[in-house]
Amino acid sequence: MDARAPQTERPIFVDLDGTLIRSDLLWETLFLVARQRPVALLRVPGWLFEGKARLKAELAHSCELDPALLPYREEVVALLRREKAAGRTIILATGANEKLAHAVADHLGLFDAVMASSDTVNLTSERKLDRILAEHGEHDFDYVGNSHEDICLLEKAATATVVAPDKAAHSWQTRTGSARIDAEPGAARAAIKAMRPHQWLKNVLVFVPIALTHEFLDLQMLLAGFLAFVSFSAAASAVYILNDLLDLTADRRHKTKRRRPFASGRISIPTGLKLAGGLLALSVGVAAILPIEFAVVLAAYIVTTTAYSFFLKRMLLIDVLTLAGLYTTRIIAGSEAAGAESSFWLLAFSVFFFLSLALVKRFTELQDFGIGAHRSKTGRGYVDADLETLSQAGMSSGFAAVLVLALYIDSPAIREHFAVPYLVWPLCPLVLYIIVRIWILARRNEMHEDPVVFIMQDWRSQMMIGLGATMFLLGAYV
């Protein structure tokens, strides 16, 4: 005889990490601490040595987590709302620390009770099951979970629902035919998006020193440039992933960035770390083929971009100066990889030009946050009152880049490479057009992407670049 209670009388126990939310609060709090209190990361090994429960507790108490920003699974929340309306008792049963669990429960307002890890007990798997059985008995509860740690609870539940299962939970669900809520499709596409391949266009800058030597048919130099491009692209993608993981909170507050793969929870944080590690290994492996000077420049780039992700991006003006320097670093890297010379004129032009574009990026980000934007909201060192200053500084920097270009065209150095130097003069108004147009669009609030990527994809900018390349070739070979 089946002694289990009727379904309406059975409580529903719901897991949190990976089930109610797409993410995991242990990893979420680890990166929150890295963002809010990076020095505290030095204590993580000691906390872990004392046990996972202690680690979760210390991380939870070392950061401020906003439960409203977590990537909840809408299907699970909708299911719980229906069951709540039917009069069911719903209990949040999670291995997350009790401070975070109560914050989530208070935010959703769906749970009648909370069962979570304490500072000394990590409430997962068998420990969670023992506590549930002690209070309700075998088959007198329903359970909603997602991972191999939940299988023992799923087996003892009267009704089990598996959510976005891992490999072990998937096998169990397939074998038993239990209810299932699948994860959103497109994980592979999300992983590619997280790498931001469109940003690899920036690394075309490694070919600039090669182009200026006029050695367009030197296969060895072109191969070196290609390898430098691959190495920088892989390194940049690894850093973009790290940057996204550190920026989870700020991205979730942003009207468009909240849809990024990590902010939305479409890719887990551990998967992101593995992907970043693989990309970094690829970058270093390719760099080993090139001259040691390139490896030094790449190492400086990786260190600087990592520092930028952790703290430089929140420092007033230091952030945009760093970005301008990182663009220029790509040109230096191309020079070292191919053995081509980078002139003072090229580097000076690069710094001013890319400083203008970096200021566009900050201007549009600040503009998107709207009136009342402040540093705690934007995650940057700017407030809404800085919009006009950023605009003026950006335009001035762009004009300075054109001035450097004009002085170069009028200098003795240009005669070493160009048969008819004055045919290169049209480069000045062409660059001026690109810069001023970008700023006009930014002021109209019509610049919704990285300005460097915009230049590479905008047909008008492409036309200006094509005309410039034509004048460059005519000046060199006519």
The domain boundary, picked from 181, 196, 220, lies at: 181
Q: Which residues pair with 179 in a beta bridge?
A: 161
Between CA 94 and CA 432 the distance in angstroms is 58
The domain boundary, picked from 162, 181, 200, lies at: 181
Ramachandran area for residue 212 (φ above 0: left; ψ -120 to 50: alpha; else beta) = alpha
Give the Cβ contact number of residue 220 at 10 Å.
Answer: 10
Report yes or no on 114 lying in a domain.
Answer: yes
Q: Which residues contact 236 (CB under 8 A, 6 or more apart)?
A: 196, 199, 200, 202, 203, 305
Report yes or no on 163 lying in a domain.
Answer: yes
Mean pLDDT over residues 433-443, rounded?
94
**Angle at 29 (CA atoms; ends 171, 75), nearest 5 degrees:** 45
Q: By residue range, what is the domain housing residue 424?
A: 187-477
Q: Which residues contact 136 (CB under 8 A, 6 or more apart)?
A: 10, 11
Report yes or no on 2 lying in a domain.
Answer: no
In a 13 Å sphere around the CA of 64, the CA atoms on its Cβ side amount to: 3
pLDDT tens per residue across span 308-358: 887 888 888 999 999 999 999 999 999 999 888 778 888 999 999 999 999
Between CA 298 and CA 389 the distance in angstroms is 33
Report yes or no on 1 lying in a domain.
Answer: no
Whole-number pLDDT of residue 370: 64
Residue 34 is part of a domain; what is its CATH number? 3.40.50.1000
Residue 30: closest CA among 242, 280, 278: 242
* Domain shared by 44 and 175, yes or no: yes
Q: Token pair for residue 181? A: 């809520």
pLDDT tens per residue across span 25-55: 999 999 999 988 888 999 999 999 999 999 9
Residue 379 banded pLDDT, cuts 50, 70, 90: low
Q: Token pair for residue 8? A: 């309406």
Residue 244 is part of a domain; what is its CATH number? 1.10.600
* Domain shared by 100 and 201, yes or no: no
- Tell me whether residue 11 is exposed, middle or buried, using C-beta atoms within 10 angstroms of its C-beta: 0 to 12, 13 to 18, 19 or more: buried
In a 13 Å sphere around the CA of 368, the CA atoms on its Cβ side amount to: 21
